[in-house]
Structure 1
Amino acid sequence: MHNTEWLQGSGLAADERGVVCDTFCRVLDTQGQAIEGIFVAGDVARWPQHLCDGDLIAVEHWGNAVDQARNAAHNMLSATVNYQEYKHIPSFWSSQFGINIKSAGLPNLGDEVMVTQGSVEQYRFVAAYGRQGRVIGAVTFDQGRWLEAYNTLIETGATYPPQFSAPDQPVDMQSQKAGFPAVVQHA
Structure 2
Amino acid sequence: MTTSTHYISTYCHITPQQVSVDGVVLHSNTSETFENFLKQLYKEHNCRYPKFFKMDTMSKLAFMGAEFLLKSAKEATTEVQNTALVFSNKSSSLETDRKHQESIASETEFYPSPAVFVYTLPNIGIGEVAIRHQLQTENAFFVFESFEANFLQKYTVSLLREGKCNSALCGWVEVDKTENHGFFYLVEATGKWQHTEKNITTFYNKI
Same topology, TM > 0.5: no
TM-score, scaled relative to structure 1: 0.24
For the pair shown, the structure with the greater C-alpha radius of gyration is 1
TM-score, scaled relative to structure 2: 0.23
Instruction: Decide which structure has greater helix share.
Output: 2
Instruction: Decide which structure has greater strand share.
Output: 1
